[in-house]
């Protein structure tokens, strides 16, 4: 498969960013694995590896600090739109996120943004429900000690 174009759409703030410059490490019908550098440089992260589960609508990322040391797992809950004729993926952020630190500390993030987006009509009730169900899937995986998925633990993709 030729390298796809990849866009990331957010509702709050509303923006679409072209992330096609991310390095594609692997792609098939089920998963897109990319290596990336932070769009907006921050002291705590410099880049990472993302595993986008295309059919499940979950993106699990290994975040690395400036010293290229693993910092934490970050799970984005998304919808995926694929336009075959353009070979373009649009990853639509459904707002809820889960952050898992190496010590097992976990945070659910941006529930307030999901509520605001729903109140303001930025997302549909169906999108909000999908977001909540996908978050539950991630949490159940963490609680059941089956997180992260096996492919995320394959060290061949870890170099940043």
- 84: CB partners within 8 A, 6+ apart: none
Q: What are the C-alpha distances in Å from 65 to residues 38, 43, 48, 93, 129?
A: 10, 8, 9, 23, 33
Q: What is the mean pLDDT of residues 63-91?
A: 95
Structural domains for the chain: 5-152 (2.40.380.10)
How far is Cα 137 from Cα 56, in angstroms, rounded to an integer? 10
How many whole angstroms from its chain centre is CA 71? 15
pTM value > 0.85:
yes
Model confidence at 160, pLDDT cuts 50, 70, 90, reads: confident
**CA angle at 33 for the pair 149 and 139, rounded to the nearest 5°:** 30
Share of the chain above pLDDT 70, in %: 99
């Amino acid at each position: 498969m030729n390298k796809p174009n990849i866009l990331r759409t957010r509702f709050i703030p509303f923006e679409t960013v072209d992330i096609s410059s991310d390095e594609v490490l692997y792609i098939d019908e089920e998963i897109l694995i990319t290596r990336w550098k932070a769009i907006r440089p921050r002291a705590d992260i410099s880049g990472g590896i993302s595993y986008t589960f295309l059919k499940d609508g979950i993106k699990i990322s290994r975040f690395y600090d400036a010293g290229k040391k693993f910092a934490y797992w970050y799970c984005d809950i998304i919808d995926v739109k694929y336009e075959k004729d353009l070979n373009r993926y649009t990853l639509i952020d459904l707002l809820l996120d889960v952050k898992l630190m190496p010590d097992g500390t976990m945070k659910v993030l941006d529930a307030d943004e999901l509520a605001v987006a729903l109140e303001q009509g930025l997302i549909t009730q169906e999108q909000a429900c999908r977001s909540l169900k996908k978050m539950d899937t991630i949490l159940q995986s963490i609680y059941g000690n089956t997180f992260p998925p096996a492919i995320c633990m394959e060290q061949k993709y870890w170099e940043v």
